[in-house]
Structure formats: C-alpha cells, structure tokens
Amino acid sequence: MSLSSVTKTKIDNILKAATEQKNGIPGIIYAAVDRKGNTIYEGAAGVKSLKNPDEKLTLDTVFWIASFTKLVTTIAALQLVEQGKLSLDAPIDPQILPEVTNAKLVEGQKGSLTYHEPKNKITLKLLLTHTAGFAYTVFNHTIREWAEETNAGDEFTGKPEGISGPLVFEPGEDWQYAIGIDWAGALVEGVTGKTLSEYFKDHIFQPLGLTSTDFGGPLHEKLAGLHSRDEEGNLVPRDYPAIVRNPLFFSGGAGLLSIASDYLKILTALINDGVGANGTRILKSETVELMFQDAVPQFSKRLNDPIPAARADHTNVVNMLPGVEKGWGLSFLLNKAPLPTGRGAYSAFWAGIANCYWTADRENGVASVVFTQIFPFSDPLVLDTWTKAEFELYQGLNAASSLQDSAFV
C-alpha cells in the first residue's frame, strides 16, 4: 500500500499545524505501516522539548510509551500460555504472586477504609482484561485515598508498593482500567526466572528486530521532553515521574521507552497473524485471533462509561470513541463497527498516558502510532490531530486502491 504525495503532504500539514498554533503540541510523530511492515506514512513535526526549542523532533526520538507496554507484556504472557507454562483461566499460583492472591477488597473513604476477603479467585485472563478488581490512583478515587492514607505511593513512583493496592470490586464482576497487567508482567518473571527486560529482549524485541525499546538505560539520552498543560491550556516542561527516571522494578503496565518504528514492528505482527515483517513468528495465529475477540461482552455498557479523572494533573476524563459499540480484547479496546475515519471493524487500539496512541486494523492491514509527551491524558488537540491524520491516511489508501483497481479494468 502506498499514499500519493498529495496525501502525504496533507498529513504533513496536519501535524505541522498542530505544532505551530498557539499552545500547540510541542512535537508529534504519526506513522503507519501495512501488514508486511512496509511504511505507509511517517512524519515528525515540532520540537523535541520546549526546553530546547531549536532541537527538532525526529523519527528516531525516544518516547515514554507508558501503557503501550501492556500489549508487549500480554504477548509475553500469551507465549507462555501457548507453551503450557501459564493458563488464562486457572487461579493465579499463590507461590508465584502472593501479592495478587492475598489482595483484599477495600471499601469506604480515607480515614474509614475497611477490608475483607474477596470470594472470587483472580486469573491471568482477569488481569489482562482489567476485570481482576484492581485500579489506578489516576482513575479511581478510592485507590487514590488508600494510597494517601497508607503512604504506599502510586503507579508513577516506580516502586513495587505503588502497584500493591487492594481490590475495589470482586474479581470478574466489573471492568476498570487498572494495574493488572503489571501483575501479569510479574507473573512472566516468576514463571521464567528472567526479568521482564530480559524476556522481552529474548522473545519479542530481538526476534522482531527492535533496536531502541527497553526500560530506560541509554535510551534516556534520546528521550523527548515531557510537558504538562495547565487549566488555561498553556504547555510547560515538566519532569518525568520516577517510573521513567529511576524505576525499582520493570513495570509491565507502563515502563517501556521506544521509538515509533520499533513499536510498529510489534503491531505488524499483530495485524499479520503473529508474524513480524522479517518473517519471525512470535504468536500462533489462533492466539492473535483470541486477542481480538471481545473477552468481556457482559461489560459492554461499562466500556461506554467515561473513565473518571481522579488526578486532574495526570488525566482528563477519558471518553474513547463515544457512541461506538466497544469491546475489550486481551489488553486493548476494540471498536465493533467501522469508524468514520476509515478504521475497520474490530480494530484494536490503546494508549500511553502521555498522549501516545496505537491502532491495529486487521481488516485493512494497517497499524499506526501517534507519539507525543503531554500531560494530562486525552488531550483534545492531540485527539483531534490524530483523527484528522487517520482520516487522510485511509482516504489516501482508498484512493490508491481504486486507482490500482481501475488499471486492471
């Protein structure tokens, strides 16, 4: 698949306009590939950081991709399921993850929190589908108050204590975006005896040919600047949280740094039945098929509820794809109907809290990423820019396809 120069220029101009307007995005990357890993479009606009406005953003700039990490951790866990070393549906082994099997249910408010034993057991599937009962302080007021009362820290401290919170609902009886996939990463470490960094490198990154994706290290030298938008919409530089600067564990939910071309290699395998652009298979085709099935149809109405903002400096209220019937696969959101931008039905997408977004459209054989580094999450300008760029991408692909078809008439 290829785009005309006219379409590429349109997308270039969309990115450029978003960075040049008042209080615009400091820097943004948008890129897309086909199911063979061929580049359809790639573009970078703006600067690497407002601290250094003369340094342009480039395609090899490193970003904190945060919850993009969840897909990688899920792939790792499913590889172990394929090998019979893990089960999706069996209760978590208390000898491997006592923190999960001993988790209590919390109720009440700060100063009057109470705890009791859950009646249901937690499984790997519940961890991957955000139905295990855990929560994030950034999206859940009860867990935020628990963290404040216990001084446990939060998911951004880079400490294990930050993800060791109690449950906020009975496992399997609700849906809430949460730290469950961090625990899935710990499960991978417990079963394999490798750190998550080692496992990712050996079984995902090196096999697919990734060169610039890891939990920090030398990648910090090429890291884009992080920014924060205040209540008036002004953007200012801010420091990265400890989970990026100095993590004390490998966060399978939010710890990775990466570049756009690397992450697109992972997404290529996702839209190509588990096979990367270099021909390396990392998952069985039937496993990929399972990932794209709605795993929580009983919570379809819940998925349409806006995700609250328990910490306004980190996130806006999140209302992804309003009015679109949604499902949840193994670690990502699914749009059950085609989108007006052209994205196909049952495409996957998810995000990183610093306003990074990815898509995997198996129907049309297109995967894409949007990279920025802005708090709070769900930034209106980033979402608008992404929507416009995606619309032009699919319009261009449809035009190229029509032109190709007419050549054979």
Antiparallel, parallel or unpaired: β 356-361 and 347-352: antiparallel
Tokens at residue 43, please? 């573009």
Whether the bond between 340 and the residue before it is cis, its omega within 30 degrees of 0, is no
CA distance 284 to 288: 7
Q: DSSP letter for 38, please.
A: -
Chain Cα centroid distance, residue 346: 17
- Among 381, 357, 374, 329, smallest CA distance to 32 is for 357
- Among 295, 296, 270, smallest CA distance to 284 is for 270
* pLDDT by residue, tens only, the chain of 409 residues: 789 999 999 999 999 999 999 999 999 999 999 999 999 999 999 999 999 999 999 999 999 999 999 999 999 999 999 999 999 999 999 999 999 999 999 998 888 899 999 999 999 999 999 999 999 999 999 999 999 999 988 999 999 999 999 999 999 999 999 999 999 999 999 999 999 999 999 999 999 999 999 999 999 999 999 999 988 999 999 999 999 999 999 999 999 999 999 999 999 999 999 999 999 999 999 999 999 999 999 999 999 999 999 999 999 999 999 999 999 999 999 999 999 999 999 999 999 999 999 999 999 999 999 999 999 999 999 999 999 999 999 999 999 876 555 444 3
Instruction: State the sign of the Cα–Cα–Cα–Cα dihedral 164, 228, 128, 71.
Output: negative
CB distance 293 to 307 below 8 Å: no
- Domains of the chain with CATH codes: 5-80+189-406 (3.40.710.10)
- Among 339, 287, 332, 318, smallest CA distance to 383 is for 318
Q: What angle do CA 24, 15, 239 make, to 5 degrees?
A: 45
Antiparallel, parallel or unpaired: β 27-34 and 374-375: unpaired
> Catalytic residue numbers?
67, 70, 177
CA distance 186 to 168: 20
CA distance 387 to 107: 39
Please state, in angstroms and as integers, the Cα–Cα distance from residue 295 to each residue in 38, 126, 283, 298, following that order: 30, 10, 18, 9
Tokens at residue 269, please? 């395998």
Antiparallel, parallel or unpaired: β 226-229 and 374-375: parallel
Q: Report yes or no on whether pTM surpasses 0.95.
A: yes
Tokens at residue 321, please? 């794809």
Report pLDDT for 406: 44
CA distance 407 to 13: 30
Ranges assigned E (strand) in 132-208 = none
Residues sharing a CB contact under 8 Å with residue 31, sequence separation 6 or more, in sequence order: 39, 41, 42, 43, 59, 260, 261, 264, 368, 369
Please state, in angstroms and as integers, the Cα–Cα distance from residue 154 to each residue in 179, 242, 310, following that order: 10, 10, 12
Please state, in angstroms and as integers, the Cα–Cα distance from residue 306 to each residue in 9, 107, 177, 321, following that order: 35, 22, 11, 10
Residues sharing a CB contact under 8 Å with residue 97, sequence separation 6 or more, in sequence order: 183, 186, 187, 190
Question: For 40-195, where are the alpha helices, taking DSSP H only?
Answer: 69-82, 98-101, 124-128, 141-150, 180-192
Tokens at residue 219, please? 């990648």
Antiparallel, parallel or unpaired: β 105-107 and 114-116: antiparallel
Q: DSSP letter for 362, please.
A: T
Q: DSSP letter for 104, please.
A: P
